[in-house]
Structures are given as structure tokens and as C-alpha cells.
């Protein structure tokens, strides 16, 4: 079986991320992103050239999670695809493209962070338990029904 691949993009979040609702009611994450470019020199060194700026979007639950975890200046690696877009700015029709990220994470080569390996199910149960009324036991059948 062939390995399924998609486009990838690395860069940095250049604007404050925004989350808005689509016409269908889904979350839409938007950020202007920067992509640094380098040229390899004959001596093996690298020279940074002009940084380019692009649009990146995400949709649904991934958009909500990205909004909670990413801020201006963060370095990222994303998987998705590029698509053409057209919009109107100052009365002029603008043609361009945007990167639609399906998955995104911090660039571990440029970001320090801790990993929480607690299973998501346990995290959901802890969160649900935090919202229970004090002194009121939750029957086992109800607590397992709260899990996803």
C-alpha cells in the first residue's frame, strides 16, 4: 500500500490568530504566516533571503484547538493543501492562494514545551468530575456515559 502524503508547510505565525464562525456555523481559524527563505552559498553556508507572507486557515475542532494553542510569533509545522482564493479589497478583486491546514503543531526544533501524555479519555473524565456538585456521588453508569 502506498504512503498517503499531503503538502506540508513550516513557518511562523505573523499575525494575531482569529477565529470566526463560517456560514455553516463551524469555527474558522485564520492567521497570516511568514515563511523564511535561505540560499545555500558556495562555501556551504546559508544566507537568509526575503521572508514571504501567506494566508493560513483551519476549520472545525482543529481551528478551535489551534486558537487555544498558537499565538503570534509561534513556529509551526502544518499538513494540508494549498488552494486558490479570490476576494475583494478596497474595491479591487484580488487573486491569491491560502494554505488550508488539517493538522498543525509547534516546530520542536524552535520551540520548548512539555508533553502531556495523559490519555484524552482520562482528561475528559477529570474535567467532567470537576463540574460535579460537591458531596454528590456520580453513579458509575453515568460517569462512563460522559466519556467520549
pLDDT attached to residue 116: 86
Any domain includes 2: no
| Residues 33, 13 contacting (CB under 8 angstroms) | yes
Residue 58 pLDDT > 90: yes
| Residues 9, 78 contacting (CB under 8 angstroms) | yes
102 forms bridges with which residues in the sheet? none
Same domain, 100 and 138: no
The model's pTM is 0.74
For residue 41, name the pLDDT band (cuts at 50, 70, 90): very high
For residue 133, name the pLDDT band (cuts at 50, 70, 90): low
Same domain, 109 and 127: no
Same domain, 44 and 108: yes
> Shortest CA distance to 37 belongs to which of 46, 26, 25, 28?
46
Provide the residue range defining the domain that includes 126: 116-148
Higher local confidence (pLDDT), 130 or 96: 96
Number of domains making up the chain: 2
Amino acid at each position: 500500500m502506498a504512503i498517503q502524503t499531503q503538502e506540508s508547510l513550516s513557518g511562523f505565525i505573523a499575525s494575531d490568530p482569529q477565529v470566526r464562525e463560517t456560514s455553516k456555523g463551524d469555527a474558522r481559524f485564520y492567521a497570516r504566516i511568514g515563511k523564511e527563505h535561505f540560499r545555500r552559498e558556495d562555501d556551504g553556508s546559508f544566507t537568509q533571503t526575503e521572508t514571504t507572507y501567506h494566508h493560513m486557515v483551519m476549520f472545525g475542532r482543529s481551528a478551535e484547538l489551534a486558537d487555544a494553542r498558537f499565538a503570534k510569533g509561534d513556529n509551526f509545522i502544518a499538513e494540508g493543501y494549498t488552494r486558490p482564493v479570490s476576494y475583494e479589497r478596497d474595491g479591487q478583486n484580488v487573486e491569491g492562494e491560502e494554505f488550508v491546514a488539517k493538522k498543525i503543531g509547534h516546530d520542536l526544533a524552535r520551540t520548548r514545551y512539555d508533553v502531556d501524555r495523559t490519555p484524552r479519555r482520562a482528561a475528559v473524565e477529570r474535567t467532567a468530575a470537576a463540574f460535579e456538585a460537591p458531596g454528590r456521588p456520580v453513579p458509575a453508569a453515568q460517569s462512563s456515559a460522559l466519556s467520549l
